[in-house]
Amino acid sequence: MTQAATPHSSADGRWLDLRLAPELFAADVPVAEGQPACIVVQQGRIVWVGPQDQVPAVYAGLPAHEGGARLATPGLVDCHTHLVYGGERANEFAMRLAGASYEEVARAGGGIVSSVKATREASEEELIAQALPRLDQLLAEGVTAIEIKSGYGLSLEHERKQLRVARRLAELRGVTVRTTFLGAHALPPEYAGRSQDYIDLVCREIMPALAAEGLIDAVDVFCERIAFSLAETEQVFQAAQALGLPVKLHAEQLSNMEGAALAARYGALSCDHIEHLSENGIAAMRDAGTVAVLLPGAFYTLRDTKVPPIDGLRAAKVPMAVSTDHNPGTSPALSLLLMANMACTLFRLTVPEALAGITRHAARALGLQHEQGLIAAGRPANFVLWPVRHAAELAYWFGNKPDCTVVRQGRITRA
Ligand code: NIG
Ligand code: FE
C-alpha cells in the first residue's frame, strides 16, 4: 500500500524512490549515484537509509511513501536570525538608497534602536502574530531548525518577551528553535553614554534571570565600533561561561576588532558575518572548531564590497555555514535557498559548500550536529524532498518557490 503524503500526518514508513543529495547523508548500506534510495522512519526517527532494493526485511511491512524520484536533503537549518521584532524598517531602505550608510542611519536614531522601540511597544501576542508569517515562509522552504536571537528588547522585561515568543513559535509550529540571548546588541537609549553600566546590567541581572527561566540556549554580542568593544564582549562571555552557556559572536562585520579570536578563546559555536576577519582570527577559529557563519543577505543589503576571506577559511578547513540573518534592518530575507545562491554568486562558494552551509555546518553552529543537518539513522526525521534533478538546482534558481515535501520532527508538514 502506498500512503499519500498529507500535511500533518506521521512520516513513519518507507520513503521510496528517492535520490540523495551528495555529502548530506550517511547510509547504512552504500548508495551508488543515481541508485533509487529509501529512508525508513519509525516513531518519528530515521532508522535506516540505503538503496531501496536492500531495505531490511524487518521494515518490509511498513507503509510506503512514494518519493517520485525526488531529491532528498536534510531539513535546512537557519542558524542566525533576528526573527522576532516589532514593525519593519522600509524607511531605512529608502535612506540607504539616498546614500546614507548603515552606520549613519544608526547614528541618526534609526537602525537597531528604532526596532527596539517598536518591539518594546508590542505585546507578546502581537510579536507572535508578526513573526509567524515570516517563520512560515522559511518553513515552507524546508527549514526544520532555526535560531532566533533576542536583542530588540534590551531590558529584562522586553528581552524576556522576545525569548518567550521564540519558545512559543517552536511550540506553535513544532520546529526546533535555538534561542540566543543578544542583550548586548545595541545600547538602549536610557543608557546613552553609559555603556559599561548597561553591560553590567546584562551580565549581573538580565542574563542570569533569563537563564534561570530556561530561555537562553546561547549568548551572542554585537562586537563593533557602533556597538560593543572587545572588553565589553569579553565581560559578557565570562558571564555566559559562569552560567554554562555557549557563546557566539557578530564579529568583524564592519571592521576588524579581533573579536573572532576572542570568541574562539571562549570556545564559540560560531563567528558570524566576518567580512573583515583576519588571518589570526581564521587560525583561532580553526583551532577552536568554531563555525564561520556567512550572511550574504546583510552583505548585499549594505552593498558591502569586502568579501569574507573564503579562501583562507577553506584552506584552514573552518566549516562555513550560510544563514539569512533575517532582521528588519540589514537583511529582511525570507529564503535560505536565496542565501545559498548569493553565497555562491557573491562569495564564490561552491554548490556543495553552500548546501553544506545551510544544513550540516549550520546545525553545528547551533550545537545541533547530532540531530539536524544530515540524513542518517538515529536522528529525528527532518528531511525535504525537492522536485529537482540536480542538487545544484537548489542554489541555482532564485526567487523560486519549490514545491517540496517537508518532514519535520517526524511529521509531514508540507506535502
Ligand atoms: O546581524 N549586526 C547586527 N545585527 C543585525 C542587524 C540588526 C538591525 O539592523 O536591526 C545583523 O546584521
Ligand atoms: Fe545578525
Residue 223: all three cell numbers together: 562586537
Question: Which one of 222, 300, 322 would you pick to mutate in the ligand 1 pocket, going by the greatest count of ligand atoms within 8 A of its CB?
Answer: 222
pLDDT confidence of residue 254: 93
For 33-45, the pLDDT digits (tens) are 889 999 999 999 9
- Pairing type for strands 45-51 and 37-42 reads antiparallel
Check whether 360 has a pLDDT greater than 80.
Answer: yes
Residues 55 and 17: beta-carbon distance below 8 Å: no
Percent of the chain with pLDDT over 90: 92
Ligand 1 centroid – CA 173 distance (Å): 25
Per the DSSP assignment, residues forming a β-bridge with 328 are: none
pLDDT confidence of residue 1: 47
pLDDT confidence of residue 4: 58
Residue 193: all three cell numbers together: 553614554
Closest residue CA from atom 9 of ligand 1 = 329
Split at pLDDT 50, 70, 90, the class of 106 is: confident
Q: 87-92 long-range contacts, Cβ below 8 Å, gap at least 24? A: 87/114, 87/115, 87/118, 87/119, 87/122, 87/328, 88/328, 88/332, 89/114, 89/115, 89/328, 89/329, 89/332, 92/329
For 361-407, the pLDDT digits (tens) are 999 999 999 999 999 999 999 999 999 999 999 999 999 989 999 99
Distance separating alpha carbons of residues 22 and 410, to the nearest angstrom = 22
Count CB-CB contacts under 10 A for residue 52: 18
Residue 307: all three cell numbers together: 568579501
Check whether 347 has a pLDDT greater than 80.
Answer: yes
Distance separating alpha carbons of residues 248 and 250, to the nearest angstrom = 7
Ligand 2 centroid – CA 28 distance (Å): 38
Residue 190, burial from CB neighbour count under 10 angstroms (0-12, 13-18, 19+): exposed
pLDDT confidence of residue 406: 98
pLDDT confidence of residue 373: 98
Split at pLDDT 50, 70, 90, the class of 278 is: very high
**176: closest CA among 246, 291, 294, 77?**
77
Check whether 7 has a pLDDT greater than 80.
Answer: no
pLDDT confidence of residue 104: 87
> Rounded mean pLDDT of 95-99?
90
Ligand 2 centroid – CA 347 distance (Å): 18
Closest residue CA from atom 1 of ligand 1 = 325
Closest residue CA from atom 3 of ligand 1 = 222
pLDDT confidence of residue 101: 87
Ligand 2 centroid – CA 60 distance (Å): 47
For 39-64, the pLDDT digits (tens) are 999 999 999 999 999 999 999 999 99
3-state secondary structure of 203: helix
CA 214 to chain centre: 20
Distances (CA, A) of 261 to 153, 268, 273, 305, 321: 28, 10, 14, 23, 18
pLDDT confidence of residue 148: 99
Ligand 1 centroid – CA 230 distance (Å): 18
Percent of the chain with pLDDT over 70: 98
Check whether 2 has a pLDDT greater than 60.
Answer: no
Radius of gyration over alpha carbons of the chain, in Å? 21
Closest ligand to C-alpha of residue 114 is: 1
**∠ CA 253-216-365 to the nearest 5 degrees?**
45
Which atom of ligand 1 has the smallest separation from the CA of 298? Answer: 12
pLDDT confidence of residue 35: 95
Whole-number mean pLDDT of the chain? 96
Ligand 2 centroid – CA 123 distance (Å): 23
The ligand 1 site (C-beta within 6 Å) comprises: 82, 111-112, 115, 222, 250, 253, 298, 325, 327-331
Check whether 6 has a pLDDT greater than 70.
Answer: no
Cβ neighbours of residue 94 closer than 8 Å, sequence gap 6 or more: none
Question: Which one of 78, 82, 325 would you pick to mutate in the ligand 1 pocket, going by the greatest count of ligand atoms within 8 A of its CB?
Answer: 82
CA 85 to chain centre: 16
Distance separating alpha carbons of residues 226 and 257, to the nearest angstrom = 11
For 151-169, the pLDDT digits (tens) are 999 999 999 999 999 999 9
3-state secondary structure of 306: coil
**∠ CA 132-136-137 to the nearest 5 degrees?**
125
Residues 310 and 349: beta-carbon distance below 8 Å: yes
pLDDT confidence of residue 87: 97
Distance separating alpha carbons of residues 190 and 120, to the nearest angstrom = 13
Per the DSSP assignment, residues forming a β-bridge with 147 are: 178
Ligand 2 centroid – CA 40 distance (Å): 37
Top pLDDT among 103 and 182 is at 182
Strands (E), 302-378: 320-322, 375-376
Count CB-CB contacts under 10 A for residue 6: 8
**177: closest CA among 375, 405, 372, 8?**
372
pLDDT confidence of residue 110: 85
Distance separating alpha carbons of residues 222 and 249, to the nearest angstrom = 7
For 231-266, the pLDDT digits (tens) are 999 999 999 999 999 999 999 999 999 999 999 999
> Rounded mean pLDDT of 112-135?
97
